[in-house]
A and B are shown apart, each in its own frame.
Chain A
Amino acid sequence: MNKITNNKAWFLVLPVFFIVAISAIIPLMTVVNYSVQDIFGPDNRFFVGTEWFKQVLDDSRLHEALLRQIGYTFSVLLIEIPLGICIALTLPRKGWGVSACMVLLALPLLIPWNVVGTIWQIFGRADIGLGGYVLNMLGVDYNYTQSSVDAWLTVLVMDVWHWTSLVVLLCYAGLRSIPDAYYQAAKIDGASRWAVFRFIQLPKMQSVLVIGVLLRFMDSFMIYTEPFVLTGGGPGNATTFLSQYLTRMAVGQFDLGPAAAFSLIYFLIILLVCWVFYTVVMNAGQREEH
């Protein structure tokens, strides 16, 4: 059989190619360009090779920010995923309660990041904020502008409040797709509530949970607006996560070279973690209990 060659098909790919080029490849290459040069002016630039990368990797404040970031993201996942599953399991399955719950759950998701930051900034103040006032009344010495632990916790609670709904909605969708016959079969077998969760609900939610974890990981790993609005990364460096540090470097100090190098490393970390997580989970799913 003769293979028919028709190069016209390439024209159909061109629009996609242009869009991807403009939206992703060209900006990324600009960053790559910055990361290997020291630029003083439009006509005054020097190629510096991997120097910026070395500098960035040796930066101890960046190491701190990275550790802080990892700790924060881990806490976010550790709280939001189990909490989301628990809430999804307790939601009603039919009746008017379903739409009421959906609306309530969707509300935080509709609020922009900086508004969330502002809400919690005011809510947490000891003088005019309900949350801060009540906590201080109860004898807890809570002040996010002075205590690093308080600031860190506030950002964490803020994220949990803002994004747990997303995990709930994803899990709820996963749960709803399980045919009733599974529950009946388990009931006939005499399976316990835990066995139903472990052997029916959890495996059936696996794919949506993977998406939930990936989304929450990427989003929380890139958190910027909330700590920026709350304390601008403080007190001290308590809530200076990677994005804060990067912005300070690029916009505050205008160190474009190191900032570009760091951006690339940042990008690769996220890509790598997502890829490893996805591969591991998918392989585990295939091989589980073999």
Chain B
Amino acid sequence: MTLTLENITKTMGGVTHIDDVSMTLEPGSFNVLLGRTLAGKTTLMRIMAGLEPPTSGRILVNGTNVTGQRVQKRNIAMVYQQFINYPSMNVYDNIASPLKLQGADKAEIDRRVRETAELMHIEHLLDRLPQELSGGQQQRTAMARAMVKDCTLLLLDEPLVNLDYKLREELREEIPNLLAKRDTIVVYATTEPMEALLLGGKCAVMHEGRVTQFGATTSVFHNPATVETGLIFSDPPINLIAGHIADRTLSLASGHNIALAGHLSGISTGNCTVGVRANHLSVVNPGPHAIAMQGNVELAEITGSETFVHVHFNDASWVIQEEGVHNPRLGETSTFYLDPSRLFVFDADNRLMAAPPVEIANGKAA
């Protein structure tokens, strides 16, 4: 099925939660909703599901208006951040519950429950109660419950948030494969840019109730249409500085001048905002093309294989991501390097003018 949202708006108590969202989700597509907390991801999903009516706008399934239709009739499934299973039923009955309510016959139920359980690697836990399972197993059960009926729309609302790191990685790898062969539209909400990239598919970036950009996940990442999208779809958020373009030169507010070349050569003159991702700044000199800059070190976070250096630069806080362990002195001025070929330039209206070409397999990842 194709799900179309037409000018969906939702206001509650005078506050706008969803602001004029229009998008079309293709059959069998995997769609990531990426946005910070309170961006409206859950509300949008609830509207897609039919759990809440939109204040205005229409929801179409294959061109048919279903806006007022009850959720029971829509054949959807949802997985939540919390592990939601029927507490008094064992895993088998939990997975079987949607099929029983649909009125499938016993043999069919049994076959599909076992099939789905095997897919989710919980076939050995079928006679356990949810409270006897680990968090990961509980969420696998909840996902099996959602996947067992051939729903047309599967909504996953930050399903991995409450799991520990290891389990999260494990399930995150499995999810796209599990859903690949299906005709179901999958919508997956997350706050993490990394997760969105690993899941792939298409990505809708949400900010304050609006969808700021919707497209293939990697292309949204490489070409954020607005400054906001760039900030959301980047971890740590993209570093920003004001600039001005004139005479084939980009002058940054910090006083540095960059001659326009490469992907920057075609851009129009005027005021602009320049963005650079943390991994495109470095504390070691990458080569003669790099521009040296000075900033006051505020913080250094060492994650083991990488160091995140926070510097105070031109009245803003910038983050530099560098491979290896570095120990800059806090409070002292330190030099870092900017690669002009990796700059994003946004125009005066914060719309993307130039994005760096995609790097393929050399040194730093894009």
Structural contact, A203 and B127, CB atoms closer than 8 A: no
Q: How far is the CA of A37 from the CA of B49 in the complex (A)?
A: 76
Report B292 CB to chain A, min CB distance, Å.
52
List the one stretch of A97-105, A106-114, A129-137, A177-185 in contact with chain B: A177-185
Counting chain A residues whose Cβ lies within 8 A of the other chain, the interface size class is 20 to 34
Closest Cβ neighbor of A192 among chain B residues: B101
| Segment 199-221 of A: residues with Cβ below 8 Å from B | 199-200, 202-204
Given contacts A181-B80, A289-B93, A290-B90, contact A191 B51 (CB under 8 A): no
Q: Does B27 sit at the interface, judged by CB under 8 A?
A: no
Task: Give chain B nearest CB distance to A205 CB in angstroms.
Answer: 10
Q: Are B87 and A184 in contact (CB under 8 A)?
A: no
A179 to B87 alpha-carbon distance, docked (Å): 13
Contact digits for A271-290, partner B, Cβ 8 Å, 1 yes 0 no: 00000000000000010111
B1 CB–A CB distance under 8 Å? no
Is there contact, CB below 8 Å, between A202 and B84?
Answer: no
Nearest-Cβ distance from residue A290 to partner chain B, whole angstroms: 6
State which of B76, B87, B98 has its C-beta within 8 Å of the C-beta of A200.
Answer: B87
Q: Does A58 sit within 8 A of B, measured CB to CB?
A: no
Chain B residues within 8 Å of A184, by CB:
46, 51, 78, 80
Q: Which residue of A189, A190, A204, A288 has the most chain B CB atoms within 10 A of its CB atom?
A: A189
Contacts of B81 in A (CB 8 A): 181
- Shortest beta-carbon distance from A84 to chain B in Å: 20
**Residues A185 and B78 in contact, CB atoms below 8 Å apart:** yes
- Minimum C-beta distance from A87 to chain B (A): 23
Chain A CB within 8 A of B89 CB:
yes
Interface residue ranges of B90-117 to A (CB < 8 Å): 90, 93, 97-98, 101-102
Q: Is A54 an interface residue (CB 8 A)?
A: no
Q: Complex formed: what's the CA distance from A202 to B89 in Å?
A: 12
Indicate whether B72 reaches chain A with its CB closer than 8 angstroms: yes
Q: Does B305 contact A (CB under 8 A)?
A: no
A138 in contact (CB, < 8 A): no
Whether A188 contacts B77 by the Cβ 8 Å rule is: yes
Give B127 Cβ to nearest chain A Cβ, in Å: 6
In the bound complex, what is the Cα–Cα distance between A191 and B97 (angstroms)?
A: 9
Chosen A-B contacts, 19 in total, with CB atoms closer than 8 Å, are: A179-B84, A181-B81, A184-B46, A184-B51, A184-B80, A185-B78, A187-B71, A188-B51, A188-B76, A190-B98, A190-B101, A199-B86, A200-B86, A200-B87, A203-B86, A203-B88, A288-B88, A288-B129, A289-B89
A contacts, CB < 8 Å to B = 179, 181-182, 184-185, 187-191, 195, 199-200, 202-204, 286, 288-290
